[in-house]
Structure 1
């Protein structure tokens, strides 16, 4: 008789937990996943939160990292019907009403819009974009250096203002600062430029696609694969202590460090528990979704073609806003990241209407109401926007954490991705998924390589479990 009920238990069904479960199931392990919410998926959720027929993503919406991730590419989820949609203009960045910079799929076409910076953009973004497979592998496991990772680091392991010092065109400067702002940290910190360069390169290499039918489709495909392999998912069950789980060879926690301590802290060594206690969390997201009549009436006609929009202003304005947020202050004009997903995937809205949404960067744990300020900022660049609103749905930082407990204080990064916590995540180790207990593994975005729908924390944790126990 086996000493175990199953081979592996995964707590949490976000992208990393599901990728870990599928990886183990494909290796022949008996796997069960426990999810506290009534529906699985973590950040991979979508729903009709405004009006029937309008599908909005509850967290992640654009998926360049999923397209480039070795984890997702290895799984080949198109067999489960997963499809992505995109167009030739991944991003528009509004600088002033009617004046914008654009990132296009073609590095050459993008660079042509950046005047004096044309050659530099093509040399850097074009080169990395053409090597997106190698770049995806490098970023997916940054603790195993490759020539591409070293080249990326040498190019962009600097504070964003340092890299901006090489650029002269206001459009390229604004676009790069907006890309770097996805790090949601003070852009004066080291390595923030790396985020900007990577996202720009992936825009040229694989684009910024959306999942057809909503981000939930990614979770649905992973779940379909898992159940076809005999895996099981148990929803509506919150795990408080590891002893509540079935007996298993391995337990993988797709949770925040805080919840990992609650569940298994008594099994960890004091030094490992301290590393989880020390995890720092970054700024938060304040999300608003709208059902609108027609399309957003952008002053700049080119913005209507963009899949995603940054309302950030000049590079200097983006840097100032992100600095305020990092210091716990609410900027007068917060940086906005907006999704025009129904332009890419018409199934997300009724004909003649649009599912529109996005979020502002706000301080950790922010509890104010900035819906009016967000809509006023959009109105500045798209006069008449308010008149087209049919319904709205607000998800403030408190609601973000309620939706997904891993989003502590509304922070969507699993731990602020500054230079130290990009490497020591949650501690400095060549096997960041390993805990001090040989049968327990951490597989959330709080481990290397960090946030984003990559599935790589789950894949690396599962591979380590197979190596040690399989």
Structure 2
């Protein structure tokens, strides 16, 4: 090692592993403590239903993983990571047929009829300037832009509500539904300011890098990160729950891939300013996820066979239907026809299921902490666009918000995004400072999805937190 500096990372999710890798690359001695029996946090795969069926326990499709500037700088392929790119990134079924988003911008636009030109005009600049856009968005937004014109052009389209942008730019139900389904990943009502940003980023990523997933399961990405860290000399301690910061070995920096309540539990709150504690407690969670994993006897019987070309399928219908579906959780309700995010890995990755059989991964947004059943609503939407689906179900594993939080305490009330994606919480995540990773405790940093750039498997929260630690400790960051 070229340095005697030491770091401790609590939590081996993608952000914690990224922070550890960044510090190990700088020559620090790094130890990672993970309460689970495996690395990855909400990035992982397990046998949830029947033998031979591989299910992703958390995130399943990874456009930001493929786009991540930090991940792209790492030799993860040497540690077993192989991206699978389905023929189409996304399908959005409607009653008259499916809208498909391909890697090709032109091919996608051609399927939107009279909105072809409008779609090209909206997305082409973002795809062309993709790297610069990532530089200024996958980080704290309170900074001097490196590409100010690119960011300004993006902001003009990103700030309005997705409902408004879709109706003002597009005329066809197909284009409006496509943008609405993309924006609904935000977990906010589509009438909320800033929801367009999510739709635009996900669309641009689909055309720039695709919407791939790791061959063999999401665990392959987590294992690749862990393998690289170990190669760099880092140590990973599994089944090693940390209950207090005082229990950790002495270190020059401690980085926490934990929720905000998790940080407050670990810290001696008497040493934290009251104002800081108050801000963390005011940070709002996002909606809960109600998730179901399926073992299927056959591929999903889509009404429109074109839906079988995509790894991801948005089941939400038209823009007005999407608006109703995503407004319901904010009212404490489950939509009668919810917006279902569905992944069908086994069509493109034979390692996911026994020969001739298949998996499906699906979830809907429900009120945070929702304790009821939403199975009928979720399966009703799948059956609507894939009639006969229920006849193919061999087994299912239901993950309620409580179950999600029980196996990963960071998923508070089933919130898979590290906090609500309101415009203010995107700007002040979790506090409004240029370096929100620093805490008032000397040498202690936050690096979870509750810090910029927020949810998603990209590792950039860990990367930026590690850079802050390096700068604060006199290393180049």
Q: 2:150 aligns with which of 148, 151, 160?
A: 148
Matched residue of 1:358: which SS?
Answer: strand
> Structure 1: which 5+ runs fail to align?
none
Q: Deviations over 1:305-353 (max 9, x none)?
A: 1111011011011011111112211111111000011122221112211
Match of 1:203 in 2: 206
The Cα shift of 1:162 comes to 1.2
What is the SS of the residue equivalent to 2:395?
Answer: strand
Question: Could you say which residue in structure 2 is the equivalent of 1:104?
Answer: 102
1: CA distance between counterparts of 2:276 and 2:256?
Answer: 15
Instruction: Report the Cα distance in structure 2 between the residues aligned to 1:355 and 1:401, rounded to whole angstroms.
Output: 23
Give me the whole-angstrom Cα distance separating, in 1, the residues matched to 2:19 and 2:39: 14
> In structure 1, what is the equivalent of residue 73 of structure 2?
74
Asked if the contact 2:337/2:380 (under 8 Å) is kept, the reply is no
Query: Alpha-carbon deviation of 1:6?
Result: 6.7
TM-score by length of 2: 0.95
Aligned equivalents of 1:423, 1:345: Cα separation in 2 = 38
After superposition, residues 218-237 of structure 1 pair within 5 angstroms as 218-237=221-240
What is the distance in 1 between the residues matched to 2:390 and 2:350? 22
Aligned counterpart, 1:193: 196
Q: Report the counterpart of residue 245 of structure 1 in structure 2.
A: 248
- Check whether the contact 1:290–1:390 (CA below 8 A) recurs between aligned residues: yes
SS in 1 for 2:88: coil
| Structure 1 partner of 2:42 | 43
Equivalent residue for 1:391, pick from 375, 389, 395: 395
Aligned residues: 466
- What's the offset of the Cα at 1:379? 1.4
Partner Cα distance (1:275, 1:61) in 2: 32
CA distance in 2, matches of 1:81, 1:39: 16
Tell me, in whole angstroms, the C-alpha distance in 2 between the residues paired with 1:277 and 1:71. 30
CA distance in 1 between counterparts of 2:393 and 2:237 reads: 38
Pairing partner for 2:424 from 394, 413, 420: 420
**What does residue 183 of structure 1 align with?**
186
Deviations 1:240-284 (A, max 9, x none): 211010011111110000010111133322222222111100111
Determine if the alignment matches structure 1 residue 120 to structure 2 residue 118. yes
Which residue is 2:302 aligned to? Answer: 298
For 2:92 and 2:193, how far apart are their aligned partners in 1? 23
C-alpha change, 1:334 and 1:319, in structure 2 (3 Å) is: same
1:5 Cα deviation from its structure 2 partner? 9.7
Q: Is the 8 A contact 2:335 2:377 kept in 1?
A: no
* Contact preservation (8 Å) 2:334, 2:374: no
Contact 1:108/1:126 (8 A) holds in 2: no
Cα separation, 2, equivalents of 1:153 and 1:355? 38
- Counterparts of 2:335 and 2:111 in 1: how far apart (Å)? 30
Q: TM-score, normalised by structure 1?
A: 0.97
Task: Please list the CA deviations of residues 97-135 of structure 1 after superposition, one character each: whole Å capped at 9, or x if unmatched.
Answer: x52211111111111111121111111223312332222
Counterpart of 2:384?
380
Alignment partners' CA distance in 2, 1:445 and 1:187: 22
CA displacement 1:289-308 (0-9 Å, x = unmatched): 11111210001010111111
Q: What are the residue-to-residue correspondences of 1:234-313 with 2, within 5 Å?
A: 234-264=237-267, 265-313=269-317
SS in 2 for 1:153: helix
- Structure 2, unpaired ranges of 5+: none
* Matched-pair contact (CA < 8 Å) for 2:296–2:392: yes
Q: Residues of 2 paired with 1:9 and 1:72: CA distance?
A: 21
Match of 2:128 among 127, 130, 151: 130
Deviations 1:392-423 (A, max 9, x none): 11111101111211110001110101100001
